[in-house]
Copies of this chain bind each other. A is one copy, B any other.
Amino acid sequence: MRRFFRGVSLLAGAVAILAGASGSAHGEPLASWNDGTTKSAITEFVQRVTTEGTPDFVPPPARIAVFDNDGTLWAEQPAYFQLLFAIDRITDLAPQHPEWQTNPLFRAVLDGDMQTLAASGEKGLLELIMTTHAGMTRDGFANVVRQWITTARHPTTGRLYTEMVYQPMLELLDYLRVSGFKTYIVSGGGVEFMRVFAEEVYGIPPEQVLGSSIKTEFVMLDSGPVIKRLPEVDFINDKAGKPLNINRHLGRRPIAAFGNSDGDLQMLQWTAAGAGPRFCLFVRHTDGEREWAYDRESHIGQLDKGLDEARKQGWTVVDMQHDWSVVFPE
């Protein structure tokens, strides 16, 4: 009898090991997703493309999944986190720049005058970004971001920004990877900004992060070559720029795409238009209590045309409030 129980316990151990090998690093796959049509749409798609010997089977190298970042993997309110980084950075650098005190744009940043800041429009924001993102080497910039991301706090929740990622999306990334997918970030955010934390936070290595970029220059110093960041836009990785950049970097079409705004629409359309099974999903921000509620009318992360297209095409739309048992990691 004791022998029998030992046998059962050994068997249970083996099952646990096997489950660990093909399951999620967080235990049960998709643990923070409530049961329902959204969760089953995901698992049914993955089942479909990973079942060998069926017409829908997709070999692992073609299992490419692309994710937007702001509003899809982490929050984006009350402003894109990269803009909050730029604002923090200007505050830090202000003592070395007395001329900023008399410049209306920089004055607005230093005074926290968001109205003047918003009124400065795209031109103003671009100037802030260039001031804080260019004029240094790529290594120097990475160090500044690393310092900020490990210490700065979100203005309303007081959390580290890396704690404002969506727990269900972390589980989804894991679930796809253990199912043989290669996961990519394809974001309007700056590529060198995201690469600093993408590997640790999302498990996505730098070469699988695509983003907007500024121009760079190769400079040979006495101490050796450096890559210098120039105050000029190179590529805006948004809207139609997303499929173009995916094509440029990967040379193949994803089979699954995840976004949350109209800026992701073309990426989802490009993904959906390939032959064979495809999966497209929008995260809809419906939870004003645990996160923020916004969509068609929002200035940040507007989801309007995308929502119409999702309905027309039968894409999956996450209702945060109902589909997620947890929003942020505990």
Q: Cβ of A243 and Cβ of B266 under 8 Å apart?
A: no
Which of B206, B247, B249, B252 makes the CB contact (< 8 A) with A252? B206
* Contact A251 B218, beta carbon cutoff 8 Å: no
Q: How far is the CB of A121 from chain B (nearest CB, A)?
A: 25
A248 close to B213 (CB less than 8 A): yes
The answer to whether A206 and B244 touch (CB under 8 A), given A266-B225, A273-B224, is: no
Distance between Cα atoms of A58 and B17 in the complex (Å): 29
A224 CB contacts on chain B under 8 angstroms: 269, 273
Contact B191 A269 (CB under 8 A): no
**Nearest chain B CB to A114's CB is how many angstroms away?**
32
Q: If the complex has contacts A220-B269, A266-B225, A270-B225, are A247 and B205 also in contact, measured as CB distance less than 8 A?
A: no
With both chains docked as a complex, state the minimum distance between the C-beta of A312 and any C-beta of chain B, in angstroms. Answer: 13
Q: Is the CB of A251 within 8 A of B216?
A: no
Shortest C-beta distance, A5 to chain B (Å), equals 37
Q: Given A227-B243, A227-B244, are A61 and B270 neighbors across the interface (CB < 8 Å)?
A: no
B249 & A249 in contact (Cβ 8 Å cutoff):
yes
A177 interface residue (CB < 8 Å to B): no
A252 and B206 CA atoms in complex are apart in Å by: 7
- Chain B residue at minimal CB-CB distance from A243: B218
The verdict on A240 contacting B218 (CB below 8 Å), with A248-B213, A250-B206 known, is: yes
Contacts A61-B205, A225-B266; A251 near B220 (Cβ below 8 A): no
Give A224-240 as 1s and 0s: 1 = Cβ < 8 Å from B's Cβ atoms.
Answer: 11010000000000001
Residue picked from A207, A220, A249, most chain B C-beta under 10 Å: A207
**Cβ of A138: which chain B residues have Cβ within 8 Å of it?**
247
Distance to closest chain B CB from A120 (angstroms): 29
Identify which of A195, A213, A251, A269 gathers the most chain B CB atoms within 10 Å of its CB. Answer: A251
Q: Are B206 and A251 in contact (CB under 8 A)?
A: yes
A270→B213 CA distance, assembly (Å) = 20
Closest to A250 in B: B207
Which residue of B is nearest A266, CB measured?
B218
Bound complex: CA of A201 vs CA of B224, how far in Å? Answer: 35
A255-303 contacts to B (CB < 8 Å): 266, 269-270, 273
B247–A216 touching, CB < 8 Å: yes
Chain B residues, CB < 8 A from A243: 218, 225, 227
Q: Is the CB of A225 within 8 A of B191?
A: no
* A223 to chain B: closest residue by CB: B273
A selection of 19 A-B contacts at a CB cut-off of 8 Å is A138-B247, A191-B248, A191-B251, A206-B251, A207-B249, A207-B252, A209-B251, A216-B247, A216-B248, A217-B240, A218-B243, A218-B266, A220-B269, A224-B269, A225-B269, A227-B244, A227-B247, A227-B270, A249-B249
- Listed from nearest, the 7 A-B pairs whose CB atoms lie closest are A206-B251, A218-B240, A224-B273, A207-B250, A195-B251, A225-B269, A216-B244
Q: A191-B248, A206-B250, A220-B269 are in contact. List 18 more A-B contacts (CB 8 A).
A: A191-B251, A192-B251, A195-B251, A207-B250, A207-B251, A207-B252, A217-B244, A218-B240, A218-B243, A218-B244, A218-B266, A224-B273, A225-B243, A225-B266, A225-B269, A225-B270, A227-B244, A249-B249
